[in-house]
Amino acid sequence: MWPRAKKSYSQNFLKDRHVLAKIIEASEIQKGERVLEIGSGTGELTQVLVDAGAQVLAVELDHDLIPILTKRFGASIDLVKGDIFDVIPSGISVEIKTSTKTITLEEGKYKIVANIPYAITSPILERFLSISPRPSSLILTIQREVADRIMAEPPDMSLLSVVCQLYGQCRRVLKVSKGAFAPVPKVDSAVMRFDLLKDHQPKYIEPVVALAKQGFSARRKQLHHNLHGFQGITETQVKETLVKMGLDPRVRAENLTPPQWMDLHARLFF
């Protein structure tokens, strides 16, 4: 018997064993590797993570699910009740206190594997792609529409796709039908893997993201209009720079690739 899902927590429990097996396969977990699971739910994904040899740090917000997880896993996982954004503070190395121990998460030395509540997909990506301690990779079950946006190419780029592709290599692992969940959601899903690029550190990428945010501020306008006045940039500067990059000076933000955003930023500010 599945516990009643709560709309307030955007709960849809992943139950399809084929999908769970594919997630584990894509996660490439090494025995003893630290894995952070966000929103453990009833523990179906938690179980296959444990079976794969992961040291699971499970963070669950729903207090009604804590006894279920505690009874099922006992000391085989480290369980924390709370909001993921409160549980994991920022810092190159952070300490998380459970009821029995203190766990240290270090930059690039853990993975995130989770069927996350879809309502917090963008905040999760923003937090763990750009703020330390960042994982080495994230394997997430998200809405298929969001996965499509992340994997977009010109002329269909969005700020989301630019940001995700700036910080990491993104790939779709598999598509997931509605029937893989209980209760059945209204949308299909997809499993995505994000491998963070070690040389794309936040201090270098954040200024590029700020430029892209301004570039996407008005989707129907050409890029030189949107960037006019941003940190003193003029429309003429933008047009001339775009031409030097081999681009049409009338180009819109959705036509630029992440490397082109990096090139544009470098040419405008260095």
Three-class DSSP category at 68: helix
> For residues 133 and 92, is the Cβ–Cβ distance under 8 A?
yes
The 8 Å CB, 24+ separation contacts for 178-187 are 179/16, 180/14, 180/15, 180/16, 180/19, 181/12, 181/13, 181/14, 181/15, 181/16, 182/2, 182/5, 182/12, 182/13, 182/15, 183/5, 183/12, 184/12, 185/12, 185/118, 187/118, 187/143, 187/144, 187/145
- Strand ranges (DSSP E) for 177-238? 181-182, 189-196
Each residue of 118-152: pLDDT tens digit?
Answer: 989 999 999 999 999 999 999 999 999 999 999 99
By C-alpha distance, which of 93, 116, 99, 104 is closest to 37? 116
Inform me whether the pLDDT recorded for 3 exceeds 80: no
What per-residue confidence (pLDDT) applies to 97? 87
Structural domains of the chain in order of their starting residue, each with its CATH number: 7-199 (3.40.50.150), 203-269 (1.10.8.100)
Residue 16, annotated as binding a ligand: no
231's tokens: 């940190």
Residue 195, annotated as binding a ligand: no
pLDDT band at 251; cut points 50, 70, 90: very high
> For residues 196 and 135, is the Cβ–Cβ distance under 8 A?
yes
33/18 Cα distance (integer angstroms): 22
**Mean residue pLDDT across the chain:** 95
**Percent of the chain, pLDDT > 70?**
99
69-91 average pLDDT score: 95
Inform me whether the pLDDT recorded for 100 exceeds 90: no
Inform me whether the pLDDT recorded for 2 exceeds 70: no
107's tokens: 């930059």
Question: Quick one: which H or E segment has residue 160?
Answer: helix 159-167
Amino acid at 17: R
By C-alpha distance, which of 55, 50, 79, 51 is closest to 67? 79
Task: Quote the pTM value.
Answer: 0.94
153's tokens: 């190419």
> For residues 53 and 30, is the Cβ–Cβ distance under 8 A?
yes
Residue 60, annotated as binding a ligand: yes
Three-class DSSP category at 223: helix
Bridge partners, residue 93, by sequence: 106
3-28 average pLDDT score: 89
Residue 255, annotated as binding a ligand: no
Each residue of 176-229: pLDDT tens digit?
Answer: 999 999 999 999 999 999 999 988 999 999 999 999 999 999 988 999 999 999
What per-residue confidence (pLDDT) applies to 99? 80
